[in-house]
Every structure is written in structure tokens, then in C-alpha cells.
């Protein structure tokens, strides 16, 4: 079966939402409590993918997982940081799909000029913690009882990953649309 990792488009938003919605409705993994409408979600995918990497993993034409990087904070000094997210259909957990998505995402982030990636997960979630640690994320802290979902206050642990040497003076951040096709092809061949 054909396996492909590629940049997402707004046309993929329905399939991406089908992966994401059960995590919203059935788990505390995300703090959203209602699934967004198809139009609202398409707007999110379009807004993020206009500048940052939003990638999907396809098997035989079906999107089975996705990962993206979004702005971490609004203030200008944070422009070298991103917050990353990844979601994979449960039947593809443990198959390497998530690993390949993150490997590509981090290569793209380095090529764009980012220096730090941040990720968060709801505690407890040892699976997510171990997965992120395999990629070099380090624990930076926990927000205690910061969200209320499914009848319970939840803690959120934050992790960070250094993408580039911070002894250098940073240049401008590139847009995902500015990366040459050869760069994208090279990164996606890593999968």
C-alpha cells in the first residue's frame, strides 16, 4: 500500500477533523469540548498552513494522521518558537506513523528557522510523555488543575525541544510556502 507524507491543504480538513473529533468528544487529550464545524476547522487548517507546516500521513489515499506547528505566543520575541500537535487514528498507534510525521515536522521547522518547539499533554499520559522524550523533548513544568473536562480538573505538562543551536544569531523565519520543492521532497523522503 502506498504511504505518503505531504503538506495538508484545506481540502484535507474534513478528513483531519474526522481524526480529531473523537479525541475532543471522548477524551481529555484536547481541551476542546465541542467539535468545530467543518467550515471553522477548514479555516484553522488554512490559517496555520499558510505559514507553518501542517502535514498529513496517507496510506492508500486515506489520511490516518496529521501533525502541525502553530505560533507559540503572540509577542515578537517568541517568533522563533512553535507549539506542535500530532494526532493519529487509534488503529495506527504503534505503527510508526506518528514517528514519521514528527521526524518530518521537525526537519521542516529547522529549515524554516525555528529554534524551540513546545508540546503539552494532559496528565496522566505516559505514552505521550515517552513519545515526546524519544524526540528530545524535556519536561519544563506542569500547570496544575488548569482545565476542567469530563467532570474532572486536569493537569497539563509542558515540554520543550531545542531545534537549532541558540548560540547563533537568528535570521528571519521563512514561510512553509517559501521552501523549495526540492527541500520538501527531501524531507518527505525521510518517511
| Residue-wise pLDDT tens digits, 156-189 | 999 999 999 999 899 999 999 999 988 898 899 8
Across the range 132-146, mean pLDDT stands at 96
| Confidence grade of residue 190 (pLDDT, cut at 50, 70, 90) | low
Q: Render pLDDT for 38-73 as a digit per residue (tens, 0 to 9).
A: 999 999 999 999 999 999 999 999 999 999 999 999
Q: Average pLDDT of 101-111?
A: 96
The CATH superfamily label for domain 3-189 reads: Gcn5-related N-acetyltransferase (GNAT) (3.40.630.30)
Domain ranges of the chain: 3-189
pLDDT of 189: 81
Strands (E), the chain: 3-7, 54-59, 62-71, 81-88, 116-123, 138-149, 152-162
Q: Which three cell numbers stand for residue 181?
A: 520543492
CA distance 31 to 26: 11
pLDDT in tens, 71-103: 999 999 999 999 999 999 999 999 999 999 999
Contact 66, 45 (CB under 8 A): no
Helices (H), 28-180: 38-49, 97-112, 126-134
- Burial annotation 104-113 (CB, 10 A radius, 16+ → b, else e): bbbbbbebbe
For residue 191, pLDDT beyond 70: no
Kindly state the average pLDDT of the residues 136-161: 97
How far apart, in whole angstroms, are the C-alpha atoms of residue 96 and residue 102?
A: 10
Give the whole-angstrom CA distance, residue 132 versus residue 103.
Answer: 11
Side-chain half-sphere CA neighbours of 135 within 13 A: 25
Q: Do residues 155 and 120 make contact, with C-beta atoms less than 8 angstroms apart?
A: no
Amino acid at each position: 500500500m502506498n504511504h505518503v507524507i505531504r503538506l495538508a491543504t484545506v481540502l484535507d480538513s474534513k478528513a483531519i477533523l474526522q481524526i480529531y473529533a473523537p479525541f475532543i468528544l471522548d477524551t481529555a487529550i484536547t481541551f476542546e469540548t465541542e467539535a468545530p464545524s467543518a467550515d471553522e476547522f477548514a479555516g484553522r487548517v488554512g490559517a496555520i498552513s499558510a505559514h507553518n507546516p501542517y502535514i498529513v500521513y496517507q496510506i492508500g489515499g486515506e489520511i490516518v494522521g496529521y501533525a502541525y506547528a502553530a505560533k507559540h505566543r503572540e509577542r515578537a520575541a517568541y517568533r522563533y518558537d512553535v507549539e506542535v500537535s500530532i494526532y493519529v487514528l487509534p488503529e495506527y498507534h504503534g505503527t510508526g506513523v506518528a514517528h514519521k510525521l514528527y521526524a518530518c515536522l521537525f526537519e521542516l521547522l529547522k529549515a524554516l528557522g525555528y529554534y524551540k518547539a513546545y508540546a503539552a499533554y494532559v496528565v496522566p499520559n505516559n505514552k505521550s510523555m515517552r513519545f515526546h522524550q524519544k524526540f528530545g523533548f524535556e519536561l519544563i513544568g506542569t500547570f496544575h488543575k488548569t482545565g476542567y473536562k469530563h467532570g474532572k480538573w486536569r493537569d497539563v505538562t509542558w515540554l520543550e525541544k531545542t531545534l537549532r543551536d541558540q548560540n547563533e544569531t537568528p535570521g528571519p523565519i521563512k514561510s512553509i510556502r517559501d521552501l523549495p520543492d526540492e527541500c520538501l521532497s527531501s524531507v518527505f523522503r525521510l518517511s
